[in-house]
Structure 1
Amino acid sequence: MDRVEKLASQNAVVIFSKSSCCMCHAIKRLFYDQGVSPAIYELDQDSRGKDIESVLMRLGCKPSVPAVFIGGQFVGSANSIMTLQVNGSLQKLLKDAGALWL
């Protein structure tokens, strides 16, 4: 848990992902298209990826990826992020976290 919290707090936006996950790709693209440069941690390429994945699942992220943290806080997985994008709340979260300057 400490490792996830530490990684999540080091950047305005952090995404835990797997390189072969299509939803992870879509969420990363969503952030890139808005001009946000998230820190990406590919769990399938990390020697401790399985441990991180277990922590993410305990946080309520099912499936475990993508898991998005904004401003050091767990925001959710793909469904949560897409909901925030559709209802217009995502940009405010990103601005508040310092990830956007618009």
Structure 2
Amino acid sequence: MASYDQKIKAAINGDKIVMYSKTYCPYCKMAKSALKGVNATFKAIELDEMNDGADYQNALQAITGVRSVPQVFIGGKYVGGGTDMKKLHDSGKLATMVA
């Protein structure tokens, strides 16, 4: 069985845009809205719908230094959370990053 950090690395290298999220989180909704605003296709991994979501969240903290969600990865790189995504969208940079 792969470790959680291996599973996360496989996910973020397997899709161009991956977001670790929780369905009820307002910042996650903000990040999703920003991505949808630039017609980006992304994979949302909803930690609150997984039995081992807390284990993923611990592994994410080890990888990014951040425990909160959302955590958005574009092209395998961590780009931030909800407010970061909104700022990137508002500045026009997000459209370039996902193109």
Superposition RMSD in Å:
1.4
- Tell me: CA distance 1:83–1:60, structure 2 relative to 1, closer, same or farther (3 Å): farther
Partner of 2:70: 66
Q: How many residues align?
A: 94
- Residue 17, structure 1, aligned to residue 17, structure 2: no
Letter in 2 for 1:70: I
Tell me the distance in 1 between the aligned counterparts of 2:56 and 2:91: 30
Tell me the distance in 1 between the aligned counterparts of 2:34 and 2:91: 14
Unaligned runs of 5+ residues in structure 2 are none
Unaligned runs of 5+ residues in structure 1 are 96-102
**Residue 20 of structure 2 aligns to a residue in which SS?**
strand
Cα offset, 1:22, TM superposition = 1.2
Determine if contact 2:27/2:81 at 8 Å carries over to the other structure.
Answer: no
In the superposition, the TM-score normalised over structure 1's length comes to 0.81
Cα offset, 1:20, TM superposition = 1.1
Tell me the distance in 2 between the aligned counterparts of 1:61 and 1:80: 13
Partner of 1:100: none
Partner of 1:33: 37
Tell me the distance in 1 between the aligned counterparts of 2:80 and 2:43: 16
Within the candidate set 38, 55, 60, 1:56 is matched to 60
